[in-house]
Every structure is written in C-alpha cells, then in structure tokens.
Amino acid sequence: MPPSDRTELGRRCQRLIGALAAVTDDPHGVTRLYLSPAHKRATGLVADWMRTAGLTASIDALGTVRGHLDAASGPGAKRLLIGSHIDTVVNAGRYDGVLGVVAGILAVDELRRRRVALPFAIDVLAFGDEEGVRFPTTLASSSAIAGRLPPGALDLCDARKVSLREALVGFGLDPAQISAAAYDPAEVLGYLEVHIEQGPVLEHERLPLGIVTSIAGQTRLKATVLGEAGHAGTAPMNLRRDALAAAAEIMVMIETIGRAGAADSLVATVGQLSVSPGAVNVVPARVDFTLDVRAASDPPRLAALAEIRARSREIADRRHVGFVMEAYHESPTTPCSPRLAAAFAAGVERLGLTPRRLTSGAGHDGHAVHHLTEVGMLFVRCRGGISHNPMEYAEPEDMALAVEALIGAIEALAASIPAA
C-alpha cells in the first residue's frame, strides 16, 4: 500500500470515526456505554481495523482492545503505548476518545506504508471505561493496565443492579484474568494519546493542535438528601421536610461556589438527579444526585469540596433533612511528561506549526496510565470547543495533522533511543 497524503489521511479518519458512530445502543444518537452490546460490536470493529493495519489484535480482561506491533529491532524491546477510549457518554459526539484510537491505528499503518523501522514495539489500546457513565467507577480499563483496579470495583453495580463482574462475564471476559492485564512498568516506554480539545482555546487561537501540560484533577461524588413524603395538598409548607427543595438549594450553592472559582478553572457539575417517590402530588422524600468537581490544580478543588460539604450540612440542618455525600472517584491533577511533550512538539514543528502548550480540563485515561508510565497528550481543535454533545466536530484536515504529528512524535522517540 502506498503512503497516504494529508487529504487521504483526513478522509480515512473521518470514515473510521463515522463507522464507529454507527455502532450505538441508541438508534437516535451515539451512546456506547462500557460493556454494552454496542461496545462489544465496537471492539470487534476496532480489532478488525487493527489487523488491517498490521497489528496483532487481542482483548484483555477489562475489554481493552490491544493491537500489537513488534519492534523492528526484535524481541526484548520496550513498548510504546498509544490509545484512548471507545466508550461514550449518553447522546455523545463521535470524536471524544474515538479519534485517539483511530489516530493510533492510522499512525501505525502509515509507519508501515512508509517502511519506518522502530526500535520499540507499539501497543495501540482502545479502552472501554473512560467516561465512567455506566458503573460508579471510572477508568476501570486503564487502571487495570496499570495494575491499579481498585479492590471492590468488580462488585459495583449499574442502575439495573448488574455488577461490573457480571457485565464482564456477559461480555465474554474472564475477571480472573484481570491481573494479567497489567503491564510491567519496566517494559513500557511511555503512553501517547491524541484527543479532541473539548474546549475553545485552539479554535480561538486559530491553531489545529496543542500539547497538553497537565490533566485537571477531579472528584466524583454521590449525595443523598432524605426528607419525608407527604400529601401535596395537605402538608403545610412550613411543616414539610421536602428533599427536593433542599437539594435545589444545595445545587444553587454548588453552582455559586463553582462560579466563584473561575480564576482556578474550578467547575462543579450536578449531572444526575433522581427524585422519589417522584409523583406530582407527593412531597419528595429522597433525592440522589451526583457531583463532579474539577480545577486546574488540587488545592482549589479540595477547598471547594470542603466548603460544599460544610454548606450542604448547614442547609440540610436548617431544613431538617438528612444529608450524606460520599466521594467515589478521585484523580489528582496529572502532570504530562516533558519528554513526551517534547516528542509531540517535534512532530508539530515538523508540520510548520506552533507547539502551543495548554492544560486539559477534561479527564482522560492518562489519569490512570500515569501510575504505569509517563503520559503525553496531543489536543486537536474542535468546533466551538463543544464536546459531550452530538454537535462535536473536528475537521478532517486537523485530524490528518494530528496523525502526522503523532507519527512525528513516534519518530522523535525512536531517534532518541541509542542504537543497541
């Protein structure tokens, strides 16, 4: 096969991303939750693409598709990991995560077409649990490759009371093999990920690509407000213990704290809410909601969490309702590797572009992979900075540049390895 030019690379990115967008659990949009039937079909498709690109494809115990390319220098060489995720949020865009997997596969395919011999092996990884939407865990698949899947994660259940263990078995995987999914840190050279920016900076500065310096820390929590059910017609307003009215006041307080932290890129989101008993004529007795808090560095995030806890307690006491809040996921701010950033910068500069450095507000598999090896990330401009939304869009030309920059980074790393 001859090498692809930039236009052809962009077309190939778009074609593969379009094909994966058609693999969905919801015919009205792209929804591919971890270990769902659509995720299963997606793993098959990605494995086929990997084989076509000359990679040996397999799937690990957490459902990560792994495409392996041997080193030209023979056995015993280290592995460079390249990856991203193929799970999505509900009613997602088509680029979040998928672009990184497609870019990894196309970069390897191009290296082969261009007859580049590498002194290291490559594993392209398609993770399944980056979004953390189905189970009250997140980054299970990338944590497993770092040997850090939390004990007890297998017993966590989704909204239908299916445990992660049951879902893995239903998918055809063997939870007893989880420890075998972990890499030995000594055999790994680093981890590279291409991802849409999911923010407006690159578009604003008219730059197609950016190099990530750190990934913002995040805390995910579950909260419950407990009041008392009552008759909507007879319970006097001043005698009610309305769990939803209390939750509403707590949510507005959370938003106010988030807004006040703009200088630290603090953001606080209540994304899920369930009210019970949930009837038009019953005072709500119980509200469960989720909270996601992030900031560019750890101290403002931790300070905001402490303030949210204290003020929620005050609101709950004043309204005579119970309140509990529990964190179920915490990723500290993750620094990206200067060495891998320099490799991406070499790839970007080779294209005649400025290697703009920026931080990531979104979370990524790098949070977990960082415990195994150094992480490098390349961001790709996306229209309006929109993500987690069907409107998500990246230009084929920008995606082609990202694949070329990834190839450049791989070649820069190869050049930095002394000949055996």
Could you say which residues in the range 249-308 bind ligand GLV, by CB under 6 A? none
Contact letters for ligand GLV, residues 343-362 (x by CB under 6 A): -------------------x
Distance of alpha carbon 153 from alpha carbon 74, whole angstroms:
37
Q: Which of 10, 63, 363, 396 binds ligand GLV (CB under 6 A)?
A: 363
**Taking CB under 6 A as the rule, does residue 131 contact ligand GLV?**
yes
Q: Is 25 annotated as a binding residue?
A: no
**Taking CB under 5 A as the rule, does residue 197 contact Mn ion?**
no
Distance of alpha carbon 251 from alpha carbon 160, whole angstroms:
26
Distance of alpha carbon 78 from alpha carbon 185, whole angstroms:
10
Tally of CB atoms within 10 A around 226: 16
Residue with tokens 């899920």: 272
**Taking CB under 6 A as the rule, does residue 197 contact ligand GLV?**
no
Complex with ligand GLV: residue 189 or 362, whichever CB lies closer? 362
Type of residue at 20: L
Q: Which of 10, 97, 128, 376 binds Mn ion (CB under 5 A)?
A: 97
Residue 220 beta carbon to ligand GLV: minimum distance, rounded to whole angstroms? 9
Tokens of 27: 């015919």
Complex with Mn ion: residue 96 or 109, whichever CB lies closer? 96
Q: What is the chain's length? A: 420
Size of the site for ligand GLV (CB under 6 A): 3
Complex with ligand GLV: residue 131 or 193, whichever CB lies closer? 131
Q: Is 131 annotated as a binding residue?
A: yes
Contact letters for ligand GLV, residues 157-196 (x by CB under 6 A): ----------------------------------------
Determine how β-strand 375-380 pairs with β-strand 209-215: antiparallel
Residue 290 beta carbon to Mn ion: minimum distance, rounded to whole angstroms? 15
Residue 85 beta carbon to ligand GLV: minimum distance, rounded to whole angstroms? 8
Q: Is 91 annotated as a binding residue?
A: no
Tokens of 85: 């995720």
| Cα-to-chain-centroid distance, residue 26 | 20
Residue with tokens 């196309």: 106
Tally of CB atoms within 10 A around 77: 18
Complex with ligand GLV: residue 131 or 398, whichever CB lies closer? 131
Distance of alpha carbon 122 from alpha carbon 124, whole angstroms:
6
Tokens of 320: 């005579």
CB neighbour class for 157 (10 Å; exposed up to 12, middle 13-18, buried from 19): middle
Which residues are part of a known binding site for Zn(2+)? Answer: 85, 96, 131, 195, 388
Residues that bind ligand GLV (CB under 6 A): 131, 362-363
Which residues are part of a known binding site for allantoate? Answer: 220, 281, 294
